[in-house]
Structures are given as structure tokens and as C-alpha cells.
Structure 1
Amino acid sequence: MDKTEKNKLLEECMLYFKARPVYQKLFLKMRDKYASLGHFGGTVLFASLSREEKEQLGGFFQRDYTINKTITISADLMKRCLASSKFAGLTWELILETYFGEPLQVKKEIELVESKRREDYFTEILESISDESGREWLHRVLEEKKEGYLLIMQLYKEKPEELRNILTYVMTGIANLKVFQDKSQKELLPVFSANITGNPHYFDEGKTGEKLLFNYLRERNFDLKQEGLSRVEYKNRIYYEAGILKDEVSNDVLAYGIHGWKPEGSLHEGIEGFFENQEPAKLTLQTIGRLEKVCGQSQQIYVVENPAVFSGLIREHPEQTVICGNGQLRLAVLVLMDKFACDTIFWYAGDFDPEGLLIAQKLKLRYGERLKLWKYEVNLYETYLSEVELSDRRIKKLEQIYIQELQEIKEVMYKKRRAAYQESMMEKFNEIF
């Protein structure tokens, strides 16, 4: 058979098989077998074929498959039937390559080609990154399969061009972090996002760009431990250390009797004005972030959960320094406390309910011996019990309390199932002075 005759026969063969859709299913399976075995061989199984598809198979293989629930076709059967058909001058390898319009490949070859394509793709991206810190981080992620690797690979397989754009924005963001320019400056996340991408929501929680940016920031701040912080608190702190404020407006703290110093060594005029007038100052995370250090009127700093207790203490004891978290352990509270000297002693008092005990535990874990739990006494809890009953959902939170100093109150709270609040114990807080 000369080349012209062979091409004509091959053309006729294609018309035959392409006119019968069931052969695409067969050929796909046999191509996969070729890729795994490295040669034309193996056996494939079909289930749930329609009657028409069974008849199409039966025509070439000279069998009645219509009575079969499952159909098994081997490479040997295909070779025998091809040899006895009018397409006998052809091979299955040639038929499959012509049918799919590309050479047959074994898996190793396919993997090598894909590996080279992937390597070229990421090499091009790495070479385009001018920021050394971002480039080194991405290189480590790819080489060591660090956190973020699976996310990157998934997007590479599904949307490589979108991944390229995301990595470009993330790298630009890394290069423009305030922490690399002026550590005293903080920037709101939406502003940072808009400056980098033109979209204030590009780095919103859960988006791919935000996940990768956070992976970089967390690795950069590897020594910042999560102990004593919730996931949200920890994440906010990581961003804060990079000069980004995730929620500046609601993240504030009330403080009374403090001095604050700016990085160049001068006192913060605004905070000093509140101090001289003996007035409490509402400090935002933005303001606190610009301070180099703070100190109180003594080494003893009193931290309370409730604004009413805060007001009562500064009214009765203007010579003391008092901080109020306003019922929440906000990042602003922690950042302010962190700026006090390491020989400062904190006295913390919160509500006697599951949430209050959790806050107390977090602070104790964070500051250790520097923080004293103030008036956490079983007799006070029992004396000042309120009428507020604790639901099963709230009681379950007590399972998270494990530090020794809170075990007695925890066990009594399990039994009493009621809360006791700071406001009712005001007179007891005055006793320390």
C-alpha cells in the first residue's frame, strides 16, 4: 500500500469512527491506557451505554452487545478486529493519533512537558518581580511547598492568567507596605487595596489576593505567636505589624493618665493635653500605632472591661492610670498595653461570665506574671450574682477556660449558671487603693 492509498484509507477510517460517537468514548479510554502503559494495550470497561451505542460497537467488533449490561473491550480484540476489517493496513496508534490530531504520549512524557511549562511560567513571573522580599517569599513557597502553594497550584491549573494578575498585585502590595518605609505610619486596608489595585475591596477577607498577602505577612512575622489571641485578633495583629489597619474606626481604647512618646522622642501633644486636664482619651489604633512608647502615672496600670467602672475609678482615683476595653478585647487594647515598659504591672478586672473569663484568660496568657487577675474571687461572684441566666451555648464556652487561676470561678459558674457584672462590684475595686 503506497502513501496515497494509506492516506485515503485513513480518511475513510476517520469518517467511519467519527460518524459513530461511541468510539470517542472507547478511544479516550484507550489513549489513557496508552499513556499509563507506554504502549497500545490493556482492557477497558463500559457500563450504562445506550442501545444505539452498543449497536455501534457491535458493528465493528462483530458482536451483539445489546444484551450486555457491561461491555469489556481489550486491546487484543481491537487488534484482531482491525486486522480482519477493511482498515487492516492501519495501526491503532495511527488511528488514535489521527482521530485526536496529536501524537500519543505516555504519562512520563506528559508530566515532563507540563513540568517544563509550569517551570517556565513561574520563572517568568519570578524574574518580573523587582521586590526582593516578595520574590524570595514566592520562591520559597514554590520550592518548599509552603503555605499558599496548594492555592497557587490550583489557580495555575484553572486560570493561569488570573493567577499572574493576582501575583502581580500581591507583589506590588508587598513592595509598598508601610512597614518597609515608615514603621510609625499605618494605612487602612481599603486605602492600601485601592492604591495598589484601584479596587478598595481587592484584598477583602477570603479573596485569593488577601490569602496570599496574609501568607506572606504571617511568614514575615513568624515570631508573633497566636497564643492568647483568637484567629481574628491574631490576623488583625499580623496586618497591624505590617502597617495595615483592617478596622481602624471601631478599633479604639479608652485610656486615662498616660503619657505617649512619638518616635523622635517628643511627647504626643494631644495625649498630653488629656493628661494635664485629667480627662480620658479615646485612642484609635492609628494614633497608638504612631507612638514609640507609653507610660502611666506609676508602674501599676488598671485595666477594666466596663466603661461605667472605668468612669468611677478615674473619678475616685485621678492619680491612677486606667484603661478600658469597652467590653471587648480589641487589638487597640493589646497594642496599647504592649507599648508599656516590661516592668509595668497590669491589674485586670472583667465581668464574671463565660466571655469575661475568656478575655481574662487571653490577657493572662499574653502577659503572664505581668498581669494580675483583680478580684477574681468566688465569694465576690456568689455575692454579686445577677438575674441573668447563662444559656447552654454560653455555658459551653467555659470548656475553653483552662488556666489555674480561673478554675474555681469556672466550676461555681457551671453550678450557678448566672453572670455577675463589674458595675455591681464597684465598691470592691476601690479597696485596692
Structure 2
Amino acid sequence: MRRAQIYFDRPGFRRPLKAVWKKYVSLGRIGGQAVVEHVSEAECEALNSFFGWDFRPGDSVPIPLRLFDQELRESAFAISMLQLHSMLEGTPLLTKSERMLGYGRRWRSLFAKLRETESGSFCRLGEEWLTLMEQGAGAGYRTLRECYNADPDNALMSLRIVMHALNQLFEEQEGVTNAQIRMPVLAARASGDAHALDLDRPAGRMLIAALRSKVSDIPFDEESSDGIPDRHDGSATLKLREFYRQFGILDDDLSSIVHWFIPESDKPIVPTVWTLRQVDAEERFPRCSRIYVVENPAVFSAVLDSIRQPVDHSDHAPPALICTSGPASSAAIRWIQRCLEASGPKCQLYYSGDFDVKGLLMGQSLYRMFPEQFAAWRFDVETYQAASLFRYPGPSFDENEMEKLNKMKVPWDERLCEIMRQTGRKAHQESFVEKLIEDYMLYVMSDSLI
């Protein structure tokens, strides 16, 4: 915050910022553009440096408010336009209608009411955060303001829940975390509602924003779907889980599961099902030569059905087969991580998914997490065309899916998304399962396993 204050508190920014504030006040939202007429040399240098523009002294410079807010969030300062105003001016940036309605006075009364009902019994971290929120500069301000505009009573209740949660988490004097606690238990103690701190609730979004501001200069991203990670994205869920654990907050580690199978001689062909808790608790993780990943349970079972004889892998590490049952869960991601750690750098990750938007997104997610080990398994143009054009054409992509495909390109086959757009149809794993079985069985029965 201090760096941003020094950077923007320069003569070259004074008139541009004044124009931006004025535009926001009159428009009532972050939109439109502020125009700075006949910019000076200092103003030109400041704006060109920040935006990467090439205006000259004397030009009239339009500043789109959405672009300014976006650049601020993506810059090293990582703050919003409204936070910048509060930091520089010491007051929230209010629209014209908010000023006419006495918004500032009513906003301050929200915090006065909270302090009065709670008798000021807040931990040091909570009190510091609450003060910043009142000034319009705290992490989570946008969430609280939107909640307040919609329902002041709910805003007060949400703010109270966060303060109770912070009191639970931090000692009054030392600022250290208390004993570990499950998130629903923390929520119940803070409010009586075990779901009060879920990320689809204002209190949940404000809590994580407050916690993130404690450990990082990068605030919680309230712009991106209110900062809520996709529940289908196992990697994002794992990152969130590790973040919460810094503060002693534990999550649900039983609902997330993974199905896996490693062939063993004289053992039945039966998969194992582990919860995330079991994946984390296992002391000796199996070593594998390859990890084959399929998206669909029916495909997973069909591959297992194809194993007709005992397999002896006593001289080498066997291949693993896992099923994510749709987008990879936290348990599946963690299982892959631990297996790769145990198996060493030669172990490869072979992923096969449905030829649809979700399958592509999951493949991209695994590629980003394991770029050195990732290999596409029958997940290319040739396999797609054989299934969608000549054998079992799947459902058509809807308009929304086509729009997403237009923006996508996968690193393992640059032609794939374009061909899928042109064809306009999905292809499910079940339509080419015999090829997956063929590949898997060829490797399982091979004498050349590493």
C-alpha cells in the first residue's frame, strides 16, 4: 500500500486521478472513460509509464475506468481503483447518489453499531482490518459494500461473523494462531451456522480476504467470480486448502475421493478408493512407471475388465490407473502428486478425457501442474476425428461451449480446438475406449517396463 501511495502521489497523476474520480462519481460505477485535456509533460510521462501508452504533451488522453481498475489489480500494487482512492484521500469514493443519500454517514454508523454491540472486544488483527474496511481500503471492502447496498442488516451480520472468526483464530496479544479447527466448526462458533464462512457467503469471502492481506501484499481477488475457486478445479481447491491451513483452518478431507488401481500378481482386479485424508496419511506411497488417468468411471471399469491374467511386476515398477470421475478432485490431484514424488522423474502422466470443454480444461490443468510429466493419451485430433466423424458422433456443442472453444488452444495439440469447433460435436471417452484398453494392456503385459 505504501508503495502505491508514493507512486501515485505525484504531480503527473493528480489531474488524471481527479478526472477518474469525477467520472466514477457521476456515472455511479466503474465504466465509461475520463478524458484529460491537453496533458502536460509530467502527466504524459506518468500515464504512458503506467499504461504502456505513447501519448505526447498537449494530447487529450481518454482513460477507460475499467482498464484503469484492471491495470491496478494486475500491477505490483494489486489494489482496486476504489482502494486507491481511499488510500490517497482517506475516504471512500462515493457515487453522486450515495452522497445525496448520506451514504458516508450511514456507512460509518454500520461500524459504530458493530463496535457498540460487541463492546469493542476484537483481537488486534481484527481491529486493524475493521479500521481499514471503514476507510474503504480493507481487503474485502468490495464484498462488504455490495452486501451493504443490497441489505444493510446482512452486511452487519456478515461483518460480525468475520470478527468473531478472527477472534477465534488469533490470540488477543500475540497474534498467533490457535489450535487447529475445521472450517464448519469455526463457522458454527462464529455464527451458529456451519456454512456461514463458505465462499459463496459474504462473510466467507471477507474472511479469506482479511487472512490473505495478513500474509501477502496481493489481496483476495474479489473481481474473479468473487474470488471463489471453481469447485471442479482440484488444483485450486488444494491451494485454497493449503492457504487456510496456515491459520489452523482444516477443511473437509473425506468427501473428496479417488479411485486407483495398480496391478499385482495373484491379486484380484479390484480398484482401491481413498479419501483425501487417506491420501495425505499414507506413509509409503506406491512407486509406478506410468500413471494412466481416465475421466469416466465406465471407462475405468472397462479397462479393468480387460485384465484377464495375473501380472508379475516384481522386477519393475507397475503402471497405475486412476479415475477422476469428472474434473479431478483434490484427492486425485494429491494422489498424482504423491505418486510422482515417490516414483521419480521418469514416471509419466498419461491423461485421456472427453473431447468437450470440461475435458480440455482438465487436461490443461494437469499440464500446468505437471508440465514435465504430462502426456496426452489418445487426446489428439486423430482420435477425435475417428470418434466424432466416422464412428460415434456425439452431442453438438451449444453456443456457450462454442464461445469457450473459440478462446481455447491446448499445448499438446494446437489443431485440436480448431478442429473441434469446425466439427461442432463432442466425443466421449466411451466411444474410443477400445483404443485405451489396447494401449493400457500393451504396456501392462510388456516386458519392457522400467
1:383 correspondence with 2:376: no
Return the offset for 1:405.
1.7
Cα separation, 1, equivalents of 2:220 and 2:107: 37
Alignment of 1:192-207 (within 5 A): 192-207=186-201
TM-score when scaled to structure 2? 0.53
Correspondence for 2:274: 283
Correspondence for 1:129: 122
Specify whether residues 192 and 364 from structure 1 end up closer, same or farther in structure 2 by C-alpha distance, changes over 3 A only: same
Specify whether residues 206 and 310 from structure 1 end up closer, same or farther in structure 2 by C-alpha distance, changes over 3 A only: closer
How many residues align structurally? 302
On the 8 A contact 2:260/2:272 being kept in 1, the answer is yes
Percent of residue pairs identical: 22
Cα separation, 2, equivalents of 1:347 and 1:207: 38
On the 8 A contact 1:126/1:135 being kept in 2, the answer is no
Correspondence for 2:406: 399
Cα separation, 1, equivalents of 2:119 and 2:374: 47
SS for the counterpart of 1:389 is: coil
**Could you tell me which amino acid in structure 2 is paired with residue 345 of structure 1?**
Q
Alignment of 1:54-203 (within 5 A): 128-130=121-123, 145-152=137-144, 158=152, 162=157, 165-175=160-170, 180=177, 187=182, 189-203=183-197
SS for the counterpart of 1:351 is: coil
Return the offset for 1:361.
1.2
Correspondence for 2:320: 321
Cα separation, 2, equivalents of 1:334 and 1:374: 18
Which residue of 352, 371, 374 corresponds with 2:374?
Answer: 371
Unaligned runs of 5+ in 1: 1-106, 259-272
Unaligned runs of 5+ in 2: 1-98, 445-450
Correspondence for 2:437: 427
> Going by fraction, where is strand more abundant, 1 or 2?
1
Alignment of 1:270-349 (within 5 A): 279-291=270-282, 295-314=285-304, 316=307, 319-340=318-339, 341=341, 343=345, 344-349=347-352
1:240 correspondence with 2:235: no
On the 8 A contact 1:193/1:203 being kept in 2, the answer is yes
Cα separation, 1, equivalents of 2:438 and 2:220: 35
Return the offset for 1:364.
0.9
**Could you tell me which amino acid in structure 1 is paired with residue 166 of structure 2?**
M
Specify whether residues 167 and 345 from structure 1 end up closer, same or farther in structure 2 by C-alpha distance, changes over 3 A only: same
**Could you tell me which amino acid in structure 2 is paired with residue 251 of structure 1?**
S
Return the offset for 1:196.
3.5
**Could you tell me which amino acid in structure 1 is paired with residue 169 of structure 2?**
I
Correspondence for 1:83: none
Please, what is the CA RMSD of the aligned residues?
4.7
SS for the counterpart of 1:404 is: coil
**Could you tell me which amino acid in structure 2 is paired with residue 237 of structure 1?**
L
SS for the counterpart of 2:414 is: helix
- Output one character per residue of 1:265-307: Cα deviation in whole Å (capped at 9) or x when no partner: xxxxxxxx9x98774222223333445x663332532222122
On the 8 A contact 1:134/1:174 being kept in 2, the answer is no
Return the offset for 1:402.
2.2
Cα separation, 2, equivalents of 1:128 and 1:361: 47
Cα separation, 2, equivalents of 1:350 and 1:374: 8
SS for the counterpart of 2:327 is: coil
**Could you tell me which amino acid in structure 2 is paired with residue 388 of structure 1?**
G
SS for the counterpart of 1:402 is: coil
Specify whether residues 230 and 211 from structure 1 end up closer, same or farther in structure 2 by C-alpha distance, changes over 3 A only: closer
Return the offset for 1:329.
2.3
Return the offset for 1:424.
4.1
Which residue of 254, 257, 261 corresponds with 1:256?
Answer: 261
Structure label with greater radius of gyration: 1
TM-score when scaled to structure 1? 0.54
On the 8 A contact 1:303/1:322 being kept in 2, the answer is yes
- Output one character per residue of 1:388-412: Cα deviation in whole Å (capped at 9) or x when no partner: 1323333333224223323222222
On the 8 A contact 1:218/1:238 being kept in 2, the answer is no
**Could you tell me which amino acid in structure 1 is paired with residue 320 of structure 2?**
T
On the 8 A contact 1:358/1:401 being kept in 2, the answer is no
SS for the counterpart of 1:214 is: helix
Return the offset for 1:175.
3.8
Specify whether residues 328 and 396 from structure 1 end up closer, same or farther in structure 2 by C-alpha distance, changes over 3 A only: same
Specify whether residues 127 and 230 from structure 1 end up closer, same or farther in structure 2 by C-alpha distance, changes over 3 A only: closer
**Could you tell me which amino acid in structure 2 is paired with residue 254 of structure 1?**
H
Cα separation, 2, equivalents of 1:313 and 1:221: 46
Which is further off, 350-359 or 389-398? Answer: 389-398
